[in-house]
Structure 1
Amino acid sequence: MTTAVAEAVDDDLWSAIGDPTRRRLLDLLLLEGAGTATSLSQQLPVTRQAVAKHLGVLDRVGLVHGTPAGRERRYRVDDAQLARAVAQLASVGSAWDARLRRIKRIAEAIQVARNDQEAT
């Protein structure tokens, strides 16, 4: 199962989402429907140029798509790619839950064995 999860995870996508500013940009775009680097930078403590670079990263991994709007680009979230990211996160979460359950069972078995040894 770990192999299937590893193959399903898009490292570039998760690297892009891993940045707090990019997550905030996604939140703003989801809330507002669309935005430009200028309009988004007015709501964040970073420059327009920094926002434009972050949007470029999100665009490269397909989480947003920009269309020309005058001298700027208007960005929207790609719902299908965002759904893919959510599915990957759920898959990774499931895999880790299973791993943690196995670790717990092993730790409990070790504790039972120690208790049995101490009782004898």
Structure 2
Amino acid sequence: MSESAELDKAFLALADPVRRAIIARLSRGPATVTELAEPHAMTKQAVSKHIHVLEQAGLVTRSRDAQRRPVHLDAAALERLTAWIDRYRLVAEGRNRRLDAVLSEMKEKER
């Protein structure tokens, strides 16, 4: 799958507030579907569907621990998203710094 397709899946998955809340919870450590469903007014089946979307996007994984199937955050996947965002953030910050410098020069010339 191309980098663009992976980004599309990840950002689409993160567009939903419930899925973002799940990611936030998993940032503190693995959790079961039951634990992830607790703060939401929805069924475990609905939360499982959200987890499935996050799995398909490569943002979370599941493991098996006897009867438990904890969900884990894939930190490397979030790191890839952050790296992609940072590329464009750094470009924008560079432009803003150049604009600030030009505006400062203009103010100095006015004095």
Fold match by TM threshold 0.5: yes
- Could you list the structure 1 runs, at least 4 aligned residues long, displaced by more than 6 angstroms after superposition: none
Number of residue equivalences = 97
The yes-or-no answer on 1:43 pairing with 2:39 is yes
Deviations 1:67-103 (A, max 9, x none): 12444521110111111111122234445x37x86xx
Would the aligned equivalents of 2:32 and 2:68 in 1 still touch at CA under 8 Å?
Answer: yes
| TM-score normalised by structure 2 residue count | 0.70
If each structure's strand is expressed as a fraction of its own residues, which one has the higher value?
A: 1
| TM-score normalised by structure 1 residue count | 0.66
Q: Secondary structure at the match of 1:14?
A: helix
Judging changes above 3 Å, is the alpha-carbon distance between structure 1 residues 24 and 94 closer, same or farther for their aligned structure 2 residues?
A: same
CA–CA distance in structure 2, aligned partners of residues 90 and 49 of structure 1: 35
Corresponding residue number in structure 1 for 2:48 = 52
User: For the aligned residues, what is the CA RMSD?
Assistant: 3.0
CA–CA distance in structure 2, aligned partners of residues 9 and 56 of structure 1: 15
Structure 1, unmatched stretches of 5+, are 1-5, 105-120
Structure 2, unmatched stretches of 5+, are 100-111
